[in-house]
């Protein structure tokens, strides 16, 4: 499980760098500044949580069952929160109106908060 968590953090971190570069250099001619700022918010949150996954994968004090719950909560949160933001920010570039599924962004945020809560509780419980 530790390897899966760590590798997932690496992949999501690398993807955040690529998406950030795309936002800075590829989107500027396609969408307005507000949409780029929104896109960058998704990149930032993805990177923050990719770094947390790297740390989580190396935490020896937490049992694997606890790590698994934290991992799934954070991964679900990243996918729902950041990726919905990417789609919403680039909404004008597609024929599908992503605003119809915009409600998943706050659901993703809740999953991120749950992941942080589980991590905090786990650290209080299992760390000396």
pLDDT digits (tens, 9 = 90+) for 65-105: 999 999 999 999 999 999 999 999 998 888 888 888 889 99
Question: Where does the pLDDT of residue 60 fall: very low under 50, low under 70, confident under 90, or very high at 90 and above?
Answer: confident
Rounded to the nearest 10°, the torsion over CA 28, 32, 35, 36 is 30
Measured between alpha carbons, how far apart are the two ends of the chain, in Å? 23
Biggest alpha carbon distance in the chain?
Answer: 54
Question: Is 35 a residue whose pLDDT tops 90?
Answer: no
Residues belonging to the chain: 128
Q: What is the percentage of the chain residues whose pLDDT exceeds 90?
A: 71
Nearest CA to 25 out of 43, 12, 50, 51 is that of 43
Supply the pTM of this predicted model: 0.90
Model pLDDT, residue 20: 95
Cβ atoms of residues 72 and 119 within 8 Å: no
């Amino acid at each position: 499980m530790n390897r899966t968590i760590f590798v997932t953090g690496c992949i999501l971190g690398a993807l955040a760098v690529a998406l950030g570069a795309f936002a800075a250099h590829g989107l500027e001619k396609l969408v307005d500044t507000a949409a780029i700022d929104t896109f960058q918010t998704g990149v930032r949150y993805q990177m923050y949580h990719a770094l947390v996954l790297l740390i989580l994968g190396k935490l020896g004090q937490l049992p694997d069952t606890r790590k698994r719950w934290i991992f799934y909560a954070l991964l679900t949160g990243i996918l729902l929160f950041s990726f919905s933001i990417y789609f919403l920010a680039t909404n004008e570039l597609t024929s599908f109106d992503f605003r119809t599924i915009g409600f998943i962004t706050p659901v993703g945020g809740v999953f991120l908060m749950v992941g942080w809560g589980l991590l905090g509780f786990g650290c209080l419980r299992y760390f000396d």
